[in-house]
Every structure is written in structure tokens, then in C-alpha cells.
Structure 1
Amino acid sequence: MGFKVAVVGATGNVGREMLDILAERAFPADEVVPLASRRSIGQEVSYGDKTLKVKDLATYDFSDVDICLMSAGGDVAREWAPKIGAQGVVVIDNSSAFRYDADVPLIVPEVNADAVAGFTKRNIIANPNCSTAQLVVALKPLHDAAGIKRVVVSTYQSVSGAGKEGMDELFDQTRAIFSAGEVKSNKFTKRIAFNLIPHIDVFMEDGFTKEEWKMTAETKKILDPKIKLTATCVRVPVFIGHSEAVNIEFEKPITADEARDILRSAPGCLVVDKREPGGYMTPHEAAGEDATYISRIREDGTVENGLAMWIVSDNLRKGAALNAVQIAECLANRKLITAKKKAA
């Protein structure tokens, strides 16, 4: 018997990706139900070769649902995830609402799959921030080999991380610039077209933004609380795909060649690292792909046991939808959940 899966936020960028990935990876689902707010009732979304009609989250009966993939924002998650979980449904939430809750596992399957068993405390599993997910996939095998002390990361995050409104704003501003029209900024604090904005999420008292804090807190929870990390998060005029320039200081010596070999055999990683023009990955090439790509691996002579590298991934997939589906696969493969018996 297959599972019944609900997808909350099915009309958004990530929700649509969740539906696509469930179909692509042939997740063992007998039924998939797209859910959203009342204003989206009846809207059609694709699931493989099927077209599904969106239903109302507020009135839906979850009693026979096994897994709920949720990508509808923190406020919706805080209201609905506990209610859905109380009905025996495992909720895999993409928002930040439960990431820092000690009773909710924060999971990247390539990194800390064993921690998924902790879902039983609240029937909720959290997906990490998109920029954190790709980072820890690359850090994990290197940490196992040489012990990471400190990470300095600068992100180059695409506008899709800000949702459909972010993508629309980049498109509209670009078109306005080329047609000598008025450039309007609504979603972002400054113009994003042909520009960079060193500001994602709200500013905190110490001068860091919440996005930068998230990367620090989540890396510690997922990988190792002893790792020191500092981040600068920047929004860039790219539609899909987050990039990161990363400097790592290790406890033990590790060469660039050793790191390259380790990453080549690590789950979820693909090394594209030729020291020649074009011998590296860009967000454009990573869009639509599942892997976390690592390029520009080199030794950092400014610190003892240091490496520098470039990490690129599709933020809508590994940074959100794919990771959520992989968590569901982990639950199923480890037989941590079983499908509810359907009424005759």
C-alpha cells in the first residue's frame, strides 16, 4: 500500500517543485493532494502526467493522510503543522517556524539522516534554509575527514529564494530598464536588476541579518555545534540557483586534492573543478539539477589547514523541495512510518 501525501502551498514555486519531484522520483504515493489557501481553490497544478485541482487547507480532513509536505510560510506552518501532526500525519515543513525547536529534527538526509527518528516527539520535521542545505552537504564529508573549526561564507542568492514575487520583480525591472520605463521596487529594498543587495531577511541587533544567523544556527544543529561560522548573505539578479564562496579552516591538514577526492565520492555532491576557463559550475547550469556542485577547490594559505571553494545548487530543489521529498523517502525506506489503512 502506498502513502497518501498532502502538499500545502502547492501553487507556490516550491510547492510546484515538490509535486514535480514526487512524480520524478516515483515516490510511493497512492494519492497526492495539493492544498493552498481558499483563494486558490480549483486552481490546477501538475503532478507527473496528471492535473490536480487545489483544495482548501482550512477545511481539508487530514485523518487518512500519511505525510504532509508544507511550503506555505512560517505563519501558516505555526498554525497548521501542530494541528496536522496531532492527526498522526508526519509534517515536513520548509519554513523556519520549527527549525530551532529542540523537539523537531532539522534534516539534510546526506548529512544527518539518523536524526530523522526524532520526529515522533511532535510529528514535525524541519527543512533547513536553502543556503544552509547546500552548504552542509559539501561540509559534511570534509568535516568527517579533517574536522572543521571555522567557516566563512558569502552567499550569492537568487531571487527565487524570495518567492514568485522576487522573480517577477527581477523580470519587470529588467524589462523596464531596457524599455526606458519606470523601475519599481516592491519586494526588495533596492533595485535588484543589474545590482546586488547585501540584505536578506531582517537586521538583528548585532548587525547580521536573520538569514546570516540562520546559516550559523542551522549548521551547528545539523552538523556540529562546535563549528564556528560567519556569513554574509547577498541577493543577486539570478532567477534560480544559489552560489556560495566558502573558506574553511580545519583541525587537521587537508589538501585540495584530498578534498576533491573526498567530495567526488560523497552523497549529493558533484565536483566540477577544472582549472581552466569554464571549468566550474554556475547557477544557470545548476538550475533544474539535484546535485550540490563544488568547484574552485584550492588551498587557503592565509590560515593553517585552510581550503577555499565555490558551491552551487538549485535552491528550489536541494534547498527546499528535493530535500523535503528525500526526508519523506528516508521515513519510508527506514520503515519509520507505515501507510494508514484506507476505509473500505
Structure 2
Amino acid sequence: MPKAFNTKTATRGLELARETLQIEADAILALKDRLAGDVGAEFARAMEVLLACTGRVVVSGIGKSGHIARKIAATLASTGTPAMFVHAAEALHGDLGMITRHDAMIAISYSGEANEFISIIPFLKRMGAPLIAITGNDKSRLAQLADIHLHAKVDKEACPLNLAPTASTTAALALGDALAVALLDARGFREEDFAMSHPGGALGRRLLTHVRDVMRTGDAIPAVRPEVPLTTALLEITRKGLAMTAVVDENFRVLGVFTDGDLRRLIEGAHEFGALKMSDVMHRNPRTVGPDQLAVEAVEKMEEFRINQLLVTDADGRLVGALHIHDLTRAKVI
């Protein structure tokens, strides 16, 4: 039966939580220090092998190490190193067919004695695919048979019974992340590259969405000639729903803009609206953006000048689109 939850239980739980975090932090820091020695040389060799790999990096594990392997494979794949996860047990029952001689394998087993991996090694050796092992035992069969061994030993698990994989899996995960980051840098991986593999995320939308993807075009663009009366322009603003209209010449080159804000200022000045033409009231040299610019650049310009709309012009200054801040919000650029 579980113990009743009380103040003593909560105090003990918090104590164990702090101790767990400290043990796992110590394990990572010890691994960091170890990279300054022999493990560092092996780490560099692992980088060299993975950078030279023309296929995929196959990351494999079993049990808790399998969960860590799956995450490492995902991190590698999203940071410029093509990778996939293969379960060590499934590999023995057909999934070895997923591995080719062009691939490299990272095998994660803290004991280094998992029979599934030992059975796989002859296949990898015959094929010529390099094997990188991450274990906590440099004398284990897996460590000895691997082409490269990354020693990820921890002093103890965070589990009070020293049984459940905790500090050891954290160390393996951190080492995998370190390898992914080192490879990312060596490949010259950039924000734009990251966005390409994350098109559905916020960063992807910010770095892959261009003004042309979200701007309003054709009949949706509010535009009038400079000689038209202000009252006609107001009807255009109302129809198009952008709270502004562009003022263009006969070649659709932008001459100016008139916004709701300009209208409010006119009202405050008690002008005689019936006699005003757009050339009298338009704001000349309006802020514009190009269709091939990133949508996030349009956001930055709106924020800089505290405006909610932008005209989109081509290289010759011709009006090709219009953009409202709501368009950017709907596209989730903001």
C-alpha cells in the first residue's frame, strides 16, 4: 500500500528531487571533464566518421537507452545530420535491412553487454558500416568491438536503489546532444537550414514565409489615382478593408498613401472634404516592402515605424501588393 501523503512525505520528496538533479548534473559535469582527455579524442573521431557518412546515422538502443537513442536520432536529423532510430531487438528480426554500408551506427547500452548489439556487430563488420558505441563500461564487449567508444560512465544512478537508469541515461542524452551540436557547427548549419526541417514551427514560419506568401493582390489591393476626390478614396478604403489606400500613377507606381490616421487628422483640422483630392492629402514617400523579403522583415518595419499597413512594391516602385498586420498574425508570423 502507498504511504499517506503528508508534510514529511513532501519534505522527503523535495529532498530526493534536489538530490536527483544534483547527481545528474554531476554526471554531466564529469562527462564534460572526461572530454578533455581520452574521451575527447574518441569524440573527435566520432565527429570525423559521422561527417564523412554518406548515408544515415542509425542510432539504436534497447529499454531506456532506446528512448534516449530515439531522441538523439531526432536531434541529429533536425540539425543537419540525416539520422534514424532502429530498435536493437527489431534489428535482429528484419530491421537490419534498413542499414546499408553507407550508414554509420551509434549503439547505446550502459552495460555494453546487450546481446542484441553483440549479435548485430558481425553484420555491421561484414557490411563495413562503422560502429560508435556509447557505454558506461569501457571493458564491455560492445566497447571493445566498436570502432569508436564514447565512455559515459556515471558514479551512481539518481535512483535511491541505484537501479533505475537515471543519471546514466541523462549522461548519454547529453553526450548525444553534444555530438549533434558539434556536427551542426562543423557543417555550417544555419537558422535557415533549421527552419527547412521545421516548416510547421514558429521558427520555420518566420524564416520561410515571404511577403509574397501573405500579401493581398489583384482587386484586393486598395489603390486610387491622385486626382480622385477624397470621398472616392474613402469608399475604396471601406471596400478593401485595409484602413488605407495606395495612391498610384498611370503605370501603377506608388506616389503616396492615405490611411485612417490621416483621415482622423483631417477631421481634427475641420477641412472641407468635398474640395480635397488625393494629391492634396496623401502621405508621400510611404513605407514599402518588397515581395521577396521575409514576412518577419515586414513585421520589423511595422514595429519600427509604428504602422499597421505596408504597400508592397517591385524593384521599379510599382504596386504589387498590400499587407496588413492582421495578415501576418493569421499567417502566424507574429
Using structure 2 for the length normalisation, give the TM-score: 0.30
Higher share in strand: 1
Using structure 1 for the length normalisation, give the TM-score: 0.29
Q: Which is bigger in relative contact order (C-alpha 8 A, separation at least 6)? A: 1
Higher share in helix: 2
| Structure with the greater alpha carbon radius of gyration | 2
